[in-house]
Amino acid sequence: MIKKVLIANRGEIAVRVMRSCYEMGIRTVAVFSEADRSSRHVMYADEAECIGPASSSDSYLCIDNIIAAAKKHKADAIHPGYGFLSENPAFARRCAKEGIIFIGPSPETMERMGDKIQARRTMIEAGVPVVPGTCEMLPSAEEAVRVCSEIGYPVMIKASMGGGGKGMRVARTADEVPLMYEAARSEAISSFGDGTVYIEKFVESPHHIEIQILGDKHGNVVHLFDRECSVQRRHQKIVEESPSPFIDDSTRKAMGEAAVAAARHVGYVGAGTIEFLVDGRQNFYFLEMNTRLQVEHPVTEEVCGMDLVKQQIRIASGEALSFRQEDIRQRGHAIECRICAEDADNGFRPSPGLIKQLIEPQGNGVRIDSYIYEGYEIPVHYDPMVGKLIVHASRRDYAIERMRRALYEYKITGLTTNMGYLRRIIDVPQFKNGCYDTSFVEANADRLAARKGYHNDAEDMALIAAYLDYLMNYEENTSDTRDDSALSRWRSFGLQKGVLRI
């Protein structure tokens, strides 16, 4: 029985994990850096321990300090969240050595999936489709040219220890290969200390679709269907949804089965994600396996009606899954928007600062996983994501309307966030009709940019009129004298412009 969990993380995910712990009667221990003393995950925990200075490498990435905190507070288990040490096999191994349960898969599985060449080999063994390419390391640029010409152009040269877009280059002709080979290699060496690269056929404008899986210690494996994650910018996801509006039910079924086969083949224990590239004709190829809980897990929770953190904890305690594949259904549609303290109009520069005012959306089908509060100062040292807005509705079009409503209800002042950018995304026709792939953000860059000089005089006048209309009629009420049609026209205009919130 797990009685106390230390959360080796910060921010919204630390709070998210604690919520499930409390519902299970489990005590929580927060760890925090000196920059995080006033962070909500520290207030929310039963116990808390400072593990070092602001710099992540001296605190949230410091295995010794985290283990020391776990021992001091007598934690039975550690939940790593995402990022930081969540996919670090050395950390999982150290937990085992110290007699602490690591809430996640075995270090061997993490190692196997962390090495992309090994992961590709494993998936081929498991009968899961991979992108055509190599499963050996390439000793030289000349060898790379030979292999690429066999595969056919364009190709992608990728770092074996990479992932998330680092150490990756496209070569469209044989001439480009030596340069791209060296570029991928040197980036891999400087980022991962390992210059091993491999080659894949380049899939043009793919969809990024992933399958959530759960495996227990008794050999049971199920999948929790798909998440569409194609709204990305520089390998950072911005909006995710489940189910994917792109794939049909037969592809969905085949991807689910492939993901289960993959997890079974490695004896996967815990929650994991199999990422696939899906081309325009719905051919899918294994890309990577993530051996952690992901940022976008809530959309799966909403449609499957499941708490993934509770499942992780039950699995780690040795319990068998209490449901079979046939018991899991996708109900309705869920969308998540990542709220970030960054300036989308100025190159997505991080813009940390003091939260002056915070009004969060509420109501039917709205969920917020966040950690900020009024008066909180977002530290400069960590990820700019301050929270996630998740909506659930019976259908995709209703979910989009709900997301739109919630994004206009949301108010964060004192710093710049990407709220305006998110509001623009949900109004892009390709997003609305579900016809988008990973080229979406780039392809719609003009539409998504906050246009300078957009507010011309006529529009400013209209905004002022909308606001006066709102003040005079809406608040004063007297429904017998109010011109409802004019009011609603001004209101919807004001809402559209982001001036009115209700």
**Residues annotated as catalytic (active site), given as ranges:** 292
75 contacts ligand MV4 (rule: CB under 6 A): no
Sheet containing strand 284-290, strands side by side = 284-290, 270-278, 207-215, 221-233, 236-242, 333-340, 385-393, 366-370
Phi, psi (degrees; rounded to nearest 5) at 496: -60, -40
The single-letter code of the amino acid at 269 is V
Query: Least distance in Å: CB of 437 to ligand MV4?
Result: 9
Interaction between residue 172 and ligand MV4 (CB under 6 A): no
Closest separation in Å from C-beta 349 to ligand MV4: 21
- Rule CB under 6 A: is residue 165 a binding residue for ligand MV4? yes
Question: Residue 93 burial (CB < 10 Å; 0-12/13-18/19+)?
Answer: middle
Sites for ligand MV4 among residues 204-243 (CB under 6 A):
206, 208, 232, 235
- For the CB of residue 199, give the shortest distance to ligand MV4 in the complex, in Å: 9
183 burial via Cβ count (<10 Å: 0-12, 13-18, 19+): middle
Measured distance CA(420)–CA(136) in Å, rounded:
45
CB of 206 to ligand MV4, least distance (A): 5
Quote the least distance from Cβ 168 to ligand MV4, whole Å.
6
Q: Which of residues 115-134 bind ligand MV4 (CB under 6 A)?
A: 131
By CB under 6 A, which span of 97-105, 202-210, 293-301, 334-342 interacts with ligand MV4?
202-210
| 106's tokens | 């075995």
Q: How many CB atoms lie within 10 A of CB 494?
A: 22
Q: How many residues bind ligand MV4 (CB under 6 A)?
A: 17
Q: Which of 147, 184, 203, 214 binds ligand MV4 (CB under 6 A)?
A: 203
Q: Does 202 bind ligand MV4 (CB under 6 A)?
A: yes
What's the per-residue H, E or C state across 250-293?
HHHHHHHHHHHHHHHHCCCCEEEEEEEEECCCCCEEEEEEECCC
Distance CA 492, CA 484 (A): 12
DSSP label at 58?
G
- Binds ligand MV4 (CB under 6 A): choice among 109, 438, 444, 473: 438
Interface with ligand MV4 includes 418 (CB under 6 A)?
no
Please select the residue that binds ligand MV4; options are 163, 365, 387, 494, rule is CB under 6 A.
163
Q: Where do contacts with ligand MV4 occur on this chain (CB under 6 A)?
A: 131, 156, 163-165, 200-203, 206, 208, 232, 235, 277, 287-288, 438
